[in-house]
Amino acid sequence: MSWLFVAGIAIFLIGLMLSIALHEIGHLVPAKLFGVKVTQFMVGFGPTMWSRRKGETEFGIKWIPFGGYVRMIGMLPPRSSDDPAKLRKVSTGPWQSMIDTAREVALEDVKPGDEDRVFYRKAWWQKVIIMSGGPAMNFVLAFVLFAIVLMGYGVQVTQPVINEVSRCVIPASAQARECTATDPLTPAASAGLRPGDRIVTFEGRKIDSWDGVARAIRAHGAGPAVVGIQRDGRAMDVNVNLIAQERRSLDDPDKLEVVGFLGFTPVTSLEQQSVGAVATHMWDLTARTAQSIVRLPEKMVGVWEAAFSGEERDKNGPIGIIGAGRIGGEIASAPVPLEARVVSLVTLLAGFNLAVGLFNLIPLLPLDGGHVAGALWEGLKRAFARVTRRPSPGHVDIAKALPLTYAMAFLMIIMAGLLMYADLVNPVRLFD
């Protein structure tokens, strides 16, 4: 294990801690602005490494860098039949006992004079802002990091320009090798296409992107076609005879499909992007990440099989913090220019923040999204009461969802443990 590998892990963990701190600041700032009493601001879990009290809030760092929390008083309301500062001790069953205990913990820091500073008494829209502030900070940080990469460094853009004409046809399923005398010429070589030719039309349809070129050729299938090109500033048409060839799908690289084949590699260049391009990239990645979260149970089956059956880990599947740190180490020690390694590490942290922000918005406790959902439901009930001229309902009692919360927390612990084990025994590897 090289020192660069260790440095990459350390850089990722530092970036992770900063991301966690910013997430919690996203909760802390609006909570204080709306008058909620915050007793603790902690980055990490477990024993406290360092802490300092400022005013009524203790700020600190704990030894296990796998999360963080902001402790606000009165997260759960007392029962409507109880005094706001006191809780009835008699329980009617195991679940009720569990809920009552949670209420006691939520109100144990409420002192005389703090009655209007508890979280549950705030307006529903204030609670939405407080609880969505953490994920919002993750999204902002992800956008800033993606902007640094896309606008400052740039991205590889593939152009509809021929870089190299493939001399012979080699199936995608075959191992890379040199052409032999028995291999047929590619349609591009047979038609006389040259490096530097820019493809502008295909079968009379205007094309201005490499994706358009690739999809048009593939969709055409085998048979004659007319390719419009620009060569040395002159427009000309070239007759080609496409062949059917097995290639990897553009939408699913793990899938092979029989498509039209011409036979050339395009020109790629590093181009800096605009703010709009960053927003588009962020939106597309957000949609793909959301789909991955929806498929998380299915993906976890693959993680289980990889952990206990030795199957190869899915590089696009879920990984834990240990696995992400290991990827950071691989990136830092990769045999590529330093600039490329820095860009990859920044991109890794950006993607991690995006995933964390989205995951926290799942509308289930103990995630932030569970509190947001409760606050939105409260706002909807109050709006309905105003429209129907009924008495304003009380605060939504999210404590009633605690049995589901504990089940969710148990599943999250199981998933985290499985990911940790899989990341240790069968990690995702960028470089084989």
What is the arithmetic mean of pLDDT over 238-249? Answer: 88
**pLDDT above 90 (res 178):** no
**Residue-wise pLDDT tens digits, 383-406:** 999 899 888 887 887 777 777 887
Could you tell me the pLDDT band of residue 166, with boundaries at 50, 70 and 90?
confident
At residue 367, the pLDDT reads 86
At residue 64, the pLDDT reads 85
Nearest residue to 96 via CA among 368, 397, 369, 364: 397
**pLDDT above 70 (res 256):** yes
At residue 389, the pLDDT reads 87
What is the arithmetic mean of pLDDT over 168-187? Answer: 74
The answer to whether the CB of 376 falls within 8 A of the CB of 128 is yes
At residue 87, the pLDDT reads 40
The answer to whether the CB of 134 falls within 8 A of the CB of 43 is no
At residue 278, the pLDDT reads 92
**Residue-wise pLDDT tens digits, 203-231:** 999 988 888 999 999 999 999 999 999 99
**pLDDT above 70 (res 2):** yes
Among positive and negative, which fits the CA dihedral 295, 301, 302, 306? positive
Q: Which residue has the tokens 């963990």?
A: 13
Portion of the chain with pLDDT greater than 90, in percent: 39
Q: What whole-number distance in Å separates Cα of residue 178 and Cα of residue 25? A: 57
Could you tell me the pLDDT band of residue 322, with boundaries at 50, 70 and 90?
confident
The answer to whether the CB of 58 falls within 8 A of the CB of 41 is yes
One-letter amino acid at 401 equals: A
Token pair belonging to 404: 């589901």
What is the arithmetic mean of pLDDT over 246-268? Answer: 84
At residue 100, the pLDDT reads 60
**Residue-wise pLDDT tens digits, 109-147:** 778 888 889 888 899 999 999 999 999 999 999 999 999
3-state SS of the chain is: CCHHHHHHHHHHHHHHHHHHHHHHHHHHHHHHHCCCCEEEEEEEEEEEEEEEEECCEEEEEEEEEEEEEEEECCCCCCCCCCCCCCCCCCCCCHHHHHHHHHHHHHHCCCCCCCHHHCHHHCCHHHHHHHHHHHHHHHHHHHHHHHHHHHHHHCEEEEEEEEEEECCECCCCCCCCCCCCCCCCECHHHHHCCCCCCEEEEECCEECCCHHHHHHHHHHHCCEEEEEEEEECCEEEEEEEEEEEEEEECCCCCCCEEEEEECCEEEEEEEECCCHHHHHHHHHHHHHHHHHHHHCHHHHHHHHHHHHHHCCCCCCCCCCCHHHHHHHHHHHHCCCCCHHHHHHHHHHHHHHHHHHHHHHHCCCCCCCHHHHHHHHHHHHHHHHHHHHCCCCCCCCCCHHHHHHHHHHHHHHHHHHHHHHHHHHHHCCCCCCC
**pLDDT above 80 (res 88):** no
Q: Which residue has the higher pLDDT, 167 or 78?
A: 167
Q: What whole-number distance in Å separates Cα of residue 223 and Cα of residue 240? A: 8
The answer to whether the CB of 365 falls within 8 A of the CB of 405 is yes
**pLDDT above 50 (res 84):** no
Domain 156-271 belongs to what topology? Answer: Pdz3 Domain (2.30.42)
Token pair belonging to 72: 């606000």
Q: Which residue has the higher pLDDT, 108 or 220?
A: 220
User: Whole-number mean pLDDT of the chain?
Assistant: 86
Is the full-model pTM beyond 0.85? no
Q: What whole-number distance in Å separates Cα of residue 7 and Cα of residue 21? A: 21
Catalytic site positions = 24
Could you tell me the pLDDT band of residue 176, with boundaries at 50, 70 and 90?
low
Token pair belonging to 76: 């759960």
At residue 81, the pLDDT reads 52
